[in-house]
Amino acid sequence: TMGNWLVNHWFSAAVLAAWLGINIFLFTYYFLFFDRDERYFYTRAILGSALAWARASAKCLNFNSMLILLPVCRNLLSFLRGTCSCCRRTLRKQLDHNLTFHKLVAYALALLTAVHTIAHLFNLERYNQSQQATDGSLPAVLSKMHLQGSQWLNPIHSNQTTVEYVAFTTIPGLTGVIITLALILMVTSSTEFIRRNYFELFWYTHHLFLVYFAGLVIHGIAGLVRGQTEQSMAEVHPYRCAEYLTQRDQNCTHSCCKDPEFGSIPAESWKWVLAPIILYVFERILRVWRAQQKVVVKKVVMHPARVLELQMEKKGFCMEVGQYIFVNCPAISPLEWHPFTLTSAPEEDFFSIHIRAAGDWTERLIDTFQSQTPRIEVDGPFGTASEDVFQYEVAMLVGAGIGVTPFASILKSIWYKFQQADQTLKTKKIYFYWICRDTGAFAWFNDLLASLEQKMAESGKANFLTYRLFLTGWNNSIANNVALHFDTATDTVTGLRHKTFFGRPRWNTEFAVVAAAHPRSVVGVFLCGPEALAKTLKKSCHQHSSLDPRKVKFYFNKENF
């Protein structure tokens, strides 16, 4: 299984290994640097190893802050997907892990923030103790240097200072508190539960990233942590002169009599995050510009089970199968953008989406369209895994509930390709599985499947598409109806030739059937559905793929929003 995983995910594994490797290298290198470098001899005399913990975690925080915005630059990812269209599909497919990587970097930021904060709490405590010490020790002498002149090493110059005072009155303290709060709010409001049920809360809270980056850039400006200057090192090297600091008389003539001089560590967070911030600003400008382009709603169809279909036109809009768009309705909320998979085919002269009532925004949108046609803004399309479907000889399409939408686009496109006798179609066979709780949600999809069945039969391709509909929320009346009409040519639930199955698919059996039917094929498995199903299918892909390169291979793809 591990071998199969590496075959399917070698690029993801390489990116993960590189990311982990760079983090470990940065942390180790800077930890040893600040723990051993001569310039920080006096700083370490006060702070001990907490200095190294704070500085090493700061470097890793900068590195991860540099990465966090890149996976959410949708246009950049679309551009990369386009430029590497000649690359192997395994490489292009890795771009779909963008949100997984974004979350991974976010968790790393949370962990490193905790390390950095705890280290600095120790630092503040030690600065405080050294300032208040009267025992003539090296930390005490170093902390009193500000009394003799402009030189200082300990930023705390008063015996009345508390950790809380420093945290809320200094630039590093205040910005540290603010960006930590922003990070906590962003992480806690982006859980699956909140995203699914309170999208607005997630959406607005996530814009605290502006506060996070502003605070990060300002954070190190005051330069409270200091080291000895190069010139001072040459004159009074600590290894030679440190002992004289604590036992020096008034009329000293020794070469070590001069006080050491200190300088701040320059703020450098901005150097790490400047390029990604500029890239992200361009991304947002491009989104705003694209959103301003006029969208014409050609047709509004209200399907059963409160599913709204919008057919739209936009100048210059060019799509591929299984792509998605972000939709905004200014009348409902000027700032909220929601992703929807396109249900139209590239061959059609419009693009369409199907919107199910699930949450406040969709409820309001459906209600609005029932009384008027509001202005709609569209950003996209953006590419995801499903546009690779024609690259596989055999494709297994799995849609759960409204997750059938990308496959509506694919099946329509195949239909048009057959009509036009398209030679570029590599696909020889499609297996389609739709898992649905109730029959109402089937309604809008029935017409498509019925016309497709007819078209396939007319062109002698009746066996090209095998589909199975699984009804998971069936009741006794449906069961009785099915029993009564078991011998009819069409299905009693959907009116289609292929029968509806009741209950959930047995995936091991389904995969074994496909593997037996196509022993030497590369099979693309495409899912738009819940995470639990993704795990099951991923496991089945690994179990049923052969390690022999000449035999059957299953590649797993999942829609990511």
The pLDDT, as a whole number, for residue 492 is 47
Determine the Cα angle at 140 with ends 137 and 146, to 5°. 140
The b/e string for 197-207 (b: 16+ C-beta within 10 A; e otherwise) is: eebeebbebee
* Residue 553, beta-bridge partner list: 522
Q: Cα separation of 367 and 362, whole Å? A: 9
Tell me how crowded residue 373 is: count the other CB atoms within 10 A of its CB: 11
Tokens of 471: 């009804």
Q: Cα separation of 133 and 145, whole Å? A: 13
If you write DSSP's letter for every residue of 362-413 in order, what string do you get?
Answer: HHHHHHHHHH-----EEEEEE--GGGGGGGSSEEEEEEEGGGGHHHHHHHHH
Determine phi and psi for 436, rounding to 5 degrees: -140, 145
Helix, strand, coil distribution of the chain in percent, nearest 5: 55, 15, 30
pTM: 0.81
Please identify which residue in the block is written with the tokens 């006060």: 46
123-129's contacts with Cβ under 8 Å and 24+ in sequence apart are 123/47, 123/50, 123/51, 123/54, 123/225, 124/156, 124/163, 124/166, 124/167, 125/163, 126/46, 126/47, 126/48, 126/50, 127/46, 127/47, 127/154, 127/155, 127/156, 128/156, 128/161, 128/162, 128/163
Q: Cα separation of 41 and 62, whole Å? A: 25
Q: Are 523 and 4 in contact (CB under 8 A)?
A: no
- Sorted by sequence, the CB contacts under 8 Å of residue 380 that are 6+ apart come out as 74, 290, 323, 324, 325, 326
* Tens digit of each residue's pLDDT, the chain (561 residues): 555 556 556 778 888 999 999 999 999 999 999 999 999 999 999 999 999 999 999 999 999 999 999 999 988 887 777 776 656 656 666 777 888 899 999 999 999 999 999 999 999 999 999 999 988 889 999 998 887 767 899 998 888 888 888 888 899 999 999 999 999 999 999 998 898 788 889 989 999 999 999 999 999 998 889 999 999 999 999 998 888 888 766 677 778 888 899 999 999 999 999 999 999 999 999 888 888 899 999 999 998 878 899 999 999 898 888 788 999 999 998 888 898 989 899 999 999 998 988 778 999 999 999 999 999 999 988 876 566 777 788 999 998 876 777 788 888 887 787 677 777 777 888 899 988 877 665 667 777 777 787 877 887 777 888 888 888 876 555 554 444 444 444 554 555 555 678 888 999 999 999 999 999 888 989 888 888 899 999 999 999 988 887 889 998 887 654
Q: Cα separation of 4 and 548, whole Å? A: 10
Q: Cα separation of 346 and 319, whole Å? A: 6
Query: In terms of DSSP bridges, do strands 338-341 and 324-328 run parallel, antiparallel, or are they unpaired?
Result: antiparallel
Collapsed DSSP state (helix, strand, coil) of residue 296:
strand
Using CA atoms of 94, 97, 102, 104 in order, give the dihedral in degrees to the nearest 10.
-100
Collapsed DSSP state (helix, strand, coil) of residue 303:
strand
Q: Cα separation of 422 and 425, whole Å? A: 6
316, 296, 302: which is closest to 444 by C-alpha?
302
Q: Judge if the upstream peptide bond of residue 381 is cis by omega within 30 degrees of 0.
A: yes
Q: Cα separation of 496 and 450, whole Å? A: 6
- Give, in order, the Cα–Cα distances in Å from 139 to each of 4, 50, 201: 58, 15, 48
Collapsed DSSP state (helix, strand, coil) of residue 336:
coil
- H-run or E-run covering 84: none
- Give, in order, the Cα–Cα distances in Å from 180 to each of 100, 135, 188, 219: 22, 37, 12, 12
Question: What domains are defined for the chain?
Answer: 2-287 (no CATH), 293-383 (2.40.30.10), 386-558 (3.40.50.80)
- Type of residue at 354: H
The pLDDT, as a whole number, for residue 389 is 77
480, 305, 541, 491: which is closest to 401 by C-alpha?
305
